[in-house]
Chains A and B, each alone.
Chain A
Amino acid sequence: MMKRLLAIILLLIVGYWLAQGLAGVPFGQDKMLVGQYYLDNVKQQTGAVNAVTAVVVNYRGFDTLGEVTVLFIASTGVGALLWKRKKKRSAKTEGSIVLTTGTRLLVPFVMLFGTYIFIHGHLTPGGGFPGGATIATAFLLLYLAFITYEIPHRGFEKTEGLAGMGYVLVGLIGLAIGGYFLFDWIWQTWNFGTENVGRLLSGGFIPIIYTIIGIKVGTELSGIIDGMIKEEVSE
């Protein structure tokens, strides 16, 4: 009881301190310095209508590369921690017929929607990470509904590695053409899609990188689910 009381008092002090610090910041007012530059120049410089994905992929591409690396390390860590020579699904009860049939009907739609999210990253909200997570949700649905379902491991892990290499490769091509890593060569050197900003075939390399990230995140999170749901079999 005493511990809890002390924790609450400490939390109240920290909360009051943070509120004092934030009280001077006006909410929702126009105080942008760098943000105004992004909003003014995003269409001419990157060809993307969605400013968020343009910033994430184009202006601040290193952050995205770092995030992808973090996710890859997390997936590798789960794989290493839960590694066993022989692992199997341990579920005993098959899902009801409503669940299995519903999953059969729903999975293609979920996958299609995930693909839609990451292909249209430069036009609509979303991008590689939500799209990949949606695709992983489809695989989660398959795992939950069918007791014998397993992702094809060899193909999945190779796809994951190839997608990660593809991202670095796109950056390296930019290094060769434009002079720095992750240079947007499709937009700034080729001028591809300059006249149809706002349509699908525009946005420089944002759709390409987001397709790569979507595939990578989708396979990675499916791999994590697979590693967590299986149990060791002793023989």
Chain B
Amino acid sequence: MNGITFIEYLIVGLMVVSAILAVEWRDLLAAAVGMAAVSLFASLLFFMLQAPDVAMTEAAIGAALSAAVFIFAIKRTQRFETEEEEKPGWWVRW
């Protein structure tokens, strides 16, 4: 495995980890940060795959603007996911 391949595997791994964390975290502000991290790694991956146009658009839209829009929405609603849906029994959760 040479250097470029190693870096690509590293970026894909980090992207998967940040995607899992973005859906797992109950703090929605942290989840928005995880989503922005997914965008950042996707942008880096587009750049590694030699698509600079797509990489620039992904960085400008995904990392800056959509994260900002998510944070505005969180600011005007609530920051933490409630644990309400865990309370009913297992037959309801099905």
Contact = CB atoms under 8 A, between A and B. Distances in A.
Contacts of B55: 125
Contacts of A125: 52-53, 55-56
Contacts of B68: 140, 225
Interface of B: prevailing SS: helix
Nearest to B59: A130
B64 A137 contact: yes
A2 B93 contact: yes
Nearest to A52: B53
Contact of B57 (A50, A129, A140, A228): A129
B6 to A, nearest CB: 17
B19 to A, nearest CB: 12
Interface of A: prevailing SS: helix
Interface in A41-66: 50, 52-53
Contacts of B64: 133, 137, 140
A201 interface: no
Which of A1, A129, A133, A221 gathers the greatest number of chain B CB atoms within 10 Å?
A133
B17 interface: no
A137 B60 contact: yes
Contacts of B53: 50, 52-53, 125-127, 130
A18 to B, nearest CB: 15
B72 A228 contact: yes
Given A2-B94, A3-B94, A228-B73, A136 B65 contact: yes
Interface of A: 1-3, 50, 52-53, 117, 125-127, 129-130, 133-134, 136-137, 140, 221, 224-225, 228-229, 231
